[in-house]
Amino acid sequence: MPTTVLTRRLGDTFRLRRGGPVVWPATRAFVSVLAPMAVLLQLHRLDLAAGAVFGALTSVYGRSEPYRQQARTLAAVAVTMVLAVAAGDLIAVFGAGHAWHEALALLGTAVVGAVTTAAATAAKVGAPGGLIFAFATGACAHLALEPADLGPHLAVAAASAAFAWAVSTAGAVVSGLGPQRRAVAAALEATAAHLESGGDLATRHRAAVAVETAWNSVALVGRRHRETRAHLDLVRAVETCEALLVESGDADVDALRAAATAVGAGRPLPLSGRSAATVVPPAPQSRWVLVRGVMRAALRPKRHGSSWLLPYAARVGVAALLAGALADLAGIGHAYWAAVSAVSVLQATSTSTSVPRMIQRVLGTVFGVFVGVAVLAAQPGPWVLVAVLAVLQWGAEMTVMANYALGLFFATPVALLVSGLATPAEPAELASNRFWATLLGGAIAVGVAWLAPRGPWLGRVHRALARVRDLSAETPPRPKALRAALVELHDAYDVAQGEVRDAELPTEELLEVSHRAYALADSAPPATGHPTPTPAAPPT
C-alpha cells in the first residue's frame, strides 16, 4: 500500500465536528456512573467498582438514535457489556496465578474487541463500537477476584447496566422527537445543498443518504408521539425532500434551509404542500435485516455485501493480540491497554481513517495522563473520587463527538482511576504504562491495517456495483431497493478510498452506474415502503 493512503485523511486529526446531541448524552452518562458508584460507596464495596463503571458505560451508546430504536440498541449493549465483564471475570478467577493468565487475558480482549467491532459496524450502532467491550474484558481479567466474588461482581455490572438503560431511555420523555427533528433537518439541508449544486452526483448521494436516514428515523416513533401533528409534519418534510430530489422545479433553497433551522429548533414546519392530516407515516423497519445479512456473510463469504466484515474483524483481533503481546514482552504494565488502544484505533474502518484516530488517541492520552496523575496523587476521599469519575465521564461525552482527542483527554483519567481502584499502583507508574501502551497499540493497529490484505474492501465495491447494475436492469425498477443499493455502493467506495490507490477503484464506472440508477429511481413509481411522495408546491 502506498504511503499516500496513510496521509490521505491527516487533515481530520484536528477537525472539530459539530451537530448532534451533546448535553443529554453527557448528562445521562454522568448520572449512570455516579448513582451506582455512590451506592457501592455507601455499602463499602468499592472493590466492585469496575463492574459498576462498565455497566454504566452502556449509556454512551446510541446517542443519536430515535428512542424507540435506542431502547432496543441499549438493551443489546447492556447484555453484551455484562457478557464482556463476565468473560474478564472468569479469566481473573480461574486464571490468576497461572503462567498462561496474561496470554488468556490478552486473547480474550482481542476476541471480544474483534467480534463486537464487527457486530457494531454491521448493526450501524456507531461510536464507540467494540472499544468499551474490549476494555471491559481486559480490565476485569486483571481484577483480584475470588470465586465467591464472581456473582456479586456480575450482579453489580448487570444492575448498573440496567440502570444506565433506564436513565438513557427516560430521555424520550424529555427530548421526545428530538432525534427525528435532527434527522429531518439534516435531510432538508442536504436537499437544499443538492438543489443549489445544480445536480452534482456527490451532493445527490449525500441527500439520498440523509433522506433515507430521515425516513428510518420518523418511522421509529413510540406510541406517545406517533401520528401527532409534530410527527406528521416531520413525515411531510421528508416527503417534500424526496419529491424535490425527483422534480426540483423552482424550489426555494433558502426556504428549505429556513425549514431545516425551524425543524431543528422544534418550531412548526414552514413548508407548503400536503396537509399533515393526509400524511401516512412509514412503518418501522427491523434491524434484524442487518443482523441476518451478517449471518449470511459468515455462511457465504465473498458472495454477500457484508462479507468484508469478517476480514475487518480479523484485522482488529490480530492487531489487538499483537499489541498486547508486544507490550507484555516489553515489560509495559497493564498490557491490555495496548490491545484496547489497537481496538480503538481500528474502529475507523479503513487504514487512512485510522491514522488520524491514532494521533488523536495519543494526543488525548498524553494530556489526559496529567489529569489522572494529579487526581491520584491528591489521594482524594472516596466521595470526591466518585464525583470526579462522574464529572470526567460527563466531560468525555460532552467533547468526544467534536474531536476524539478531546474525549480522550477526559476518558484517560477515568481509565487510570478505575485501574487505580482495582489494582493500586504509583500514579507515575500508571501514567507511564498508559502512555507507552497507547502509543504501541496505536502504532501496531495502523501497521497491521497497512499490511493487511485489501481485497475485501475492493471486493465490497465491486459487489455493490453489480447489485446496482442488476437492480437497474429490472423492469419495472424498484426505487426503494435501488436507492438502498446506491447508499451501500457509495459507502463501500468511501471506505475503500482509505484502503487502495485511486487507480484501483472503478471510479468512472461508479459515476456512470450511479447517474443511471438515480435517474431510474427518480423516474420510477414511488416505493411501497415509504408514504407516497407527492411533488410539493415550491416552498414559500
pLDDT at 131: 92
Contact indicator for 326, 442 with CB cutoff of 8 Å: no
Contact indicator for 6, 501 with CB cutoff of 8 Å: no
Among 158, 133, 165, 140, smallest CA distance to 59 is for 165
Stated pTM of the model? 0.85
* Domain residue ranges in the chain: 21-174+305-451, 178-220+227-278, 455-523
Contact indicator for 50, 132 with CB cutoff of 8 Å: no
Tens of pLDDT, residues 181-236: 888 989 999 888 888 887 677 888 888 888 888 888 888 787 777 778 888 888 88
Residues 233, 227: Cα–Cα separation, whole Å = 9
Among 490, 489, 479, smallest CA distance to 519 is for 479
Tens of pLDDT, residues 32-87: 999 999 999 999 888 889 999 999 999 999 887 877 778 888 999 999 999 999 99
Average pLDDT of the residues in 489-518: 86
Q: Give the 3-state secondary structure percentages of the chain, helix then strand then coil, rounded to 5.
A: 75, 0, 25
Q: Which 3 state secondary structure label does DSSP give 138?
A: helix
Residues 514, 397: Cα–Cα separation, whole Å = 38
Q: Is the dihedral of CA 400, 405, 409, 411 positive or negative?
A: positive
Computed over its alpha carbons, how large is the radius of gyration of the chain? 24
pLDDT of residue 270 exceeding 80, the answer is: no
Q: How many CB atoms lie within 10 A of CB 98?
A: 10
pLDDT at 295: 56
CA triple 124-365-3, angle to 5 deg: 70
C-alpha cell at 318: 490480530
pLDDT at 503: 83
Contact indicator for 525, 482 with CB cutoff of 8 Å: no
pLDDT at 283: 62
In order of 269, 302, 473, 508, the CA distances from 470 in angstroms are 39, 18, 5, 18
CA triple 72-78-79, angle to 5 deg: 95
| pLDDT tier for residue 137 given thresholds of 50, 70 and 90 | very high
| pLDDT tier for residue 3 given thresholds of 50, 70 and 90 | low
C-alpha cell at 224: 406517545
pLDDT of residue 288 exceeding 60, the answer is: no
pLDDT at 303: 54
Residues 343, 449: Cα–Cα separation, whole Å = 11
Better pLDDT: 364 or 273: 364
284 burial type by CB count under 10 A (0-12 exposed, 13-18 middle, 19+ buried): middle
Mean residue pLDDT of the chain comes to 83
The H-or-E segment that residue 232 falls in is helix 229-246
